[in-house]
Structure 1
Amino acid sequence: MFFNVLEYQRYEVLNKIVKSDVIGEFYLGGGTGLALQLGHRVSEDFDFFSPIEFSSDYIIYKLEKVGDINILYSAKDTLHMLLDGVRVTWLYYPNPLLDNLVIPTEIKGLKIASKIDIGVMKLVAISSRGSKKDFIDLYCICQSGIELEELVKLLPQKFPNKMVNLYHILMSLCYFDDAEDEAMPKMFIRLDWNNVKRFFLDNCQKLVKLIE
């Protein structure tokens, strides 16, 4: 695991969360969950997902005992907050896991979504609005040995109750306008944005067979 991707303050916040006894069924996903596994870039936020419904009030009650909390948004099964200045999101996410959770030895009690699960979630994120970080994360997942085609084919399993529009997914993977004006995230590896775009353009041509 690459805990060096977390600055000291964020590492301390993560420890506080785990030790506060709110984790339960929650697992860490998103860019930070991926960065801890790949060590490819800095990620500033924590995104926690739960397969079961939860009480936002309970999380607030537990965490206000261990740090300074600023509630950004709170509703049933959804909570956005700053904990000691670090953004933390809690979401009810009933979609099935496709692979086993990753259990790091460095922080006891922490669970992290697999690269496969994060990869499929990144596909959906890109189809909504393709940020540069999402494209880079998905690219790095594929460079780690997971085929983009495999992730695309897993979409119906990850979202069994939704109609997956493969055409829209593939078109989104080739649309970079929203990402172009965004700054590059701080990287721990050498990476050229043009190579990232070329990778998706090449693969989209190969994946057209999935919608024919």
Structure 2
Amino acid sequence: MSHNKSLLTSKQQEFLTFFNHYPDLYQNFYFSGGTALAEFYLQHRFSEDLDFFSLIEINPHEINLFLNSHKIEFSSPQIQFRQSFNRNLFFLTYTDNSKLKLEFTYYPFPQLEIPQQQDNLKIDSVFDIAVNKIFTLSQQARGRDYFDLYIIEQKYSFSFEKLIKKAREKFDYPIDYLQLGINFNQVDHYLDDPILLKKINHEEISVFFKKEAQKLKNKIVK
């Protein structure tokens, strides 16, 4: 895990410092998603949300109460709680009108690798984040996932075949190779999404995913 100059906003840093002080949070949740990926592994883009996952079932209303009762410790924002399917989202609005979105979600999928640790903060491994993103991309296309997976592959050389295999194992769910291939081939429609810090050739990303789509052809049952 490399860590250069922080890409986090002051509000993100402040909340992570708060998180780091409370066992109720750091013992039950680990930090994952795009912001963890960008901050601790790739340094390639800005990311707005802080995503925290738990392997044990949680009561989101208790988290809401906990955050509201301690919010003076992270600049006293207004906190709006919203549930979206199994996701627990917290929208923070500060007095300067800046915003921060948090997610505290039950994620009952055992990690494939031991998370990294910084102080009390457990950080999902880059391999687990990549596997999660492949699984997401097999169900829905999001621009940031193409960029993230491409740069992960360039830096860490994980084969997509291995990521797909591990996604099947981790989520105990069949991968729809046809849909994944379709989403790989639609890469050109999604290349205007994230705020990138590194110059990346869109044509190279497009060619990369279309080649990966070709490799999936023999996996598709006719």
TM-score normalised to structure 1 length: 0.86
The aligned counterpart of 1:188 is 197
The aligned counterpart of 2:30 is 27
Provide the rounded CA distance (Å) in 2 between the counterparts of 1:131 and 1:98. Answer: 23
Higher strand share: 2
Is 2:159 aligned against 1:147? yes
Alignment of structure 1 residues 11-50 onto 2, 5 Å: 11-21=13-23, 22-36=25-39, 37-50=41-54
- Answer yes or no: is the 8 Å Cα contact 1:27–1:112 preserved in 2: yes
Unaligned runs of 5+ in 2: none
Provide the rounded CA distance (Å) in 2 between the counterparts of 1:167 and 1:23. Answer: 39
The aligned counterpart of 1:99 is 113
- Answer yes or no: is the 8 Å Cα contact 1:131–1:178 preserved in 2: no
- Answer yes or no: is the 8 Å Cα contact 2:109–2:170 preserved in 1: yes
Is 2:71 aligned against 1:60? no
Match of 1:6 among 5, 8, 11: 8
| 1:9-59, Cα deviation, whole Å (9 max, x unpaired) | 221122122224423221111111211211111111011111110121221
The aligned counterpart of 1:134 is 145
In structure 2, the CA distance between the partners of 1:39 and 1:202, relative to structure 1 (3 Å rule), is: same
Q: How many residues align?
A: 206
Unaligned runs of 5+ in 1: none
In structure 2, the CA distance between the partners of 1:124 and 1:75, relative to structure 1 (3 Å rule), is: closer
Provide the rounded CA distance (Å) in 2 between the counterparts of 1:46 and 1:172. Answer: 26
Provide the rounded CA distance (Å) in 2 between the counterparts of 1:109 and 1:35. Answer: 19
For the aligned residue pairs, the C-alpha RMSD in angstroms reads 2.2
Shift of 1:97: 1.0
